[in-house]
Amino acid sequence: MESTLNSPAAAPRAGAGSLSWIWQAVTGVGLVILAGLHMVAHHFVVAGGLRNFAEVLAYIRNPLIWPLEILFLVCVTAHALLGVRAIIFDLGLSETAERRVTQVLWGVGLLAVAYGAWLTWVLVTYPA
Amino acid sequence: MNTPSPTRPRRVWQWADVRGRKLGMWAFILNRLSGLGLTLYLFIHLGVLSMLTGGPDSWDPFLAIVKAPWFLMLDVILLAGLLIHGLNGIRVTLNGFGIGVRAQKQLFLVLMAVAAVAGLLGAWIIFAETK
């Protein structure tokens, strides 16, 4: 690795694992598109700046949009929690503690995605 | 897999030690702090969205609050965090796959300049468009 900008963030993380790093990179690339779409759709093209309830419903009920929003949630949650995991692993935990951390973060991630999917379902099926 | 890389700070508190920091370490710290901030925002955002389940009576009055100038400033900070983390992340990913390693310093500076310009443009749009 070059010495000018030999950032530890510029290489697969030794403690957090190379596979985790690759997943974080893959979800990160996905987020460049999905987070961009999310920000533009919710902040930059809406008259008045933010969507009111009726506009949220109209947007989320689009059959092209809600799967993208779910995919966005999966990617952003995985990316965020893999990042948190890498930071926690930098604390120098034992292997047992690292396994626990991974299990807890899996739980948090699954709950977040399940909650987001439920919220989407509530909105898609909200009485007109 | 627990062997620390030679350039990696062994403890989180070392992020705050600014002595002898090179650009690479600043990029690393910036990436992690922006990532932690965005993670915190993600879970707050998910919590706030629960108001949607209450229908228009719950959501629409909330919009009046989030359209206040001080709240729009938080939107600008969010946008800045996304741009910094996202563009720096692209550099990290490219470098991680061995692309542009020799030009990583220049790449970092260029991408942060892009983040600054895009952030200012985004801030202008957020304040101009929100009514």
Report ipTM (2 d.p.): 0.84
- The CATH number of residue B48's host domain is 1.20.1300.10
CA distance B20 to chain A (A): 13
Condensed to tens digits (0 to 9), the pLDDT of residues B96-125 reads: 889 988 898 999 999 999 999 999 999 998
Q: What is the number of domains present in chain B?
A: 1
Q: Which among B28, B43, B29, B127 is positioned nearest to B79, based on CA atoms?
A: B127
pLDDT at B1: 37
CA distance A94 to chain B (A): 9
* A77 lies within 8 A of chain B by CB: yes
Enumerate domains of chain A plus CATH numbers: 18-124 (1.20.1300)
Number of C-beta neighbours around residue B125 at 10 A: 16
pLDDT at A26: 92
Q: Report if residue B15 sits inside a domain.
A: no
pLDDT at A2: 42
The least confident of A1-5, A50-54, B8-12, B101-105 is: A1-5
* B36 lies within 8 A of chain A by CB: yes
Q: Report if residue B9 sits inside a domain.
A: no
pLDDT at A5: 52
Rounded distance, CA B102 to CA B69, Å? 43
Q: Which band of pLDDT confidence, cut at 50, 70 and 90, is reported for residue B6?
A: very low
CA distance B113 to chain A (A): 17
Instruction: Give Dmax (Cα) for chain A.
Output: 60
Rounded distance, CA B56 to CA B65, Å? 14
| Closest in A29, A80, A126 to B39, CB measured | A80
A91 contacts in chain B (CB < 8 Å): 11-12
Condensed to tens digits (0 to 9), the pLDDT of residues A72-119 reads: 999 999 999 999 999 999 888 899 999 999 999 999 999 999 999 999
Q: Residue B75 burial (CB < 10 Å; 0-12/13-18/19+)?
A: buried
Structural domain range at position B73: 21-129
Q: Report if residue B5 sits inside a domain.
A: no
Q: Enumerate residues 6+ apart whose C-beta is below 8 A from B122.
A: A44, B76, B79, B83
A35 has pLDDT over 70: yes
A122 contacts in chain B (CB < 8 Å): 52-53
